């Protein structure tokens, strides 16, 4: 992972267990301050990491991942064919833990709505084989709707279509040209309404 400083740190760590390519041994990814670039060969878990962060912060599981398959949510271990694994698979959960940076900036904690004393916010997501999702924030159970609303108030808008872009969509975005990129940037920063108001004021 390669970091470019100056951009404030939001995610500190992501810990993944039994999710897609990642097995029962927890994989711990640490993020530095700034922009983080993840580089790896195909099939090493880049998309799994991206999806883990997306699901952990939005609760949105793609429909095709809700069924048990090689593209599913749960990582099923390879077990000897003579071993009855039905009970094991029935109780096997995927787990995603996202640790957010809550250190003070200019005297204010970025996630003070969640906790105004701790330097870190721990969001733990548990997904069972049926696709049901449970959220725990700093050890307390939260509803998906509440988590999404609180994160939206903390400048992480789960409904922003540009918050999580797949690789092919990123390439498509880059092909839109300067005006298209400007419009996309306005959407990302949630300032399109301001731009529209300025345009209307100039016309009147």
Q: What is the DSSP string of 23-72?
A: -SS-EEEE--SSEEE----TTSSHHHHHHHHHHHHH----GGGSSSSTTS
Residue 189 and residue 122 share a domain: no
Residue 90 and residue 140 share a domain: yes
Q: What is the pLDDT of residue 27?
A: 92
Q: What is the pLDDT of residue 37?
A: 73
DSSP-based three-state secondary structure for 8:
coil
Total count of domains within the chain: 2
- Helix 192-203 to helix 177-188 angle (10° resolution) is 120
Residue 191 and residue 173 share a domain: yes
Residue 116 and residue 22 share a domain: yes
Residue 127 and residue 181 share a domain: no
DSSP-based three-state secondary structure for 4:
strand
Residue 175 and residue 136 share a domain: no
Residue 172 and residue 135 share a domain: no
Contact between residue 47 and residue 16 where contact means Cβ atoms under 8 Å apart: no
Q: What is the pLDDT of residue 6?
A: 46
Two tokens, residue 144 = 């998906």
The residue with tokens 């279509």 is 161
Residue 49 contacts by C-beta under 8 Å, 6 or more apart in sequence? Answer: 14, 16, 29, 38
Residue 170 and residue 149 share a domain: no
Q: Give the domain CATH number at 110.
A: 3.40.50.300
C-alpha to C-alpha distance for 200 and 204, rounded to whole angstroms: 6
Contact between residue 101 and residue 31 where contact means Cβ atoms under 8 Å apart: no
Residue 170 and residue 124 share a domain: no
C-alpha to C-alpha distance for 129 and 89, rounded to whole angstroms: 8
Two tokens, residue 37 = 């670039």
Two tokens, residue 98 = 């996202």
Residue 192 and residue 144 share a domain: no
Query: How long, in residues, is the chain?
Result: 204
Q: What is the pLDDT of residue 183?
A: 74
Domain that holds residue 97: 2-156
Residue 191 and residue 139 share a domain: no
Q: What is the pLDDT of residue 122?
A: 96
Residue 45 and residue 92 share a domain: yes
Q: Average pLDDT of the chain?
A: 77
Q: What is the pLDDT of residue 169?
A: 59
Collect the ranges in the chain with pLDDT lower than 70: 1-8, 34-35, 63-71, 77-91, 159-174, 185, 187-192, 195, 204
């Amino acid at each position: 992972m390669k970091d470019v400083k100056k951009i404030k740190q939001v995610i500190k760590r992501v810990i993944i267990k039994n999710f897609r390519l990642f097995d029962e041994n927890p994989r711990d990814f640490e993020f530095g301050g700034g922009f983080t670039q993840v580089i790896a060969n195909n099939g090493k878990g880049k998309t799994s990491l991206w999806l883990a962060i997306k699901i952990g912060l939005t609760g949105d599981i793609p429909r095709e991942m809700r069924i048990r398959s090689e593209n599913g949510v749960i990582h099923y271990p390879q077990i000897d064919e003579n071993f009855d694994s039905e009970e094991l698979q029935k109780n096997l959960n995927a787990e995603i833990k996202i640790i957010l940076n809550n250190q003070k900036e200019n005297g204010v904690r970025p996630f003070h709505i969640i906790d105004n004393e701790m330097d870190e916010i721990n969001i733990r997501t548990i997904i069972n084989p049926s696709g049901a999702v449970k959220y725990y924030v700093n050890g307390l159970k939260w509803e998906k709707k509440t988590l999404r609303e609180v994160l939206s108030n903390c400048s992480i808008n789960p409904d922003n279509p540009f918050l999580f872009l797949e690789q092919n969509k990123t390439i498509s975005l880059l092909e839109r040209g300067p005006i298209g990129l400007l419009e996309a940037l306005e959407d990302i920063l949630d300032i399109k309404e301001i731009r529209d108001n300025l345009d209307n004021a100039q016309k009147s």
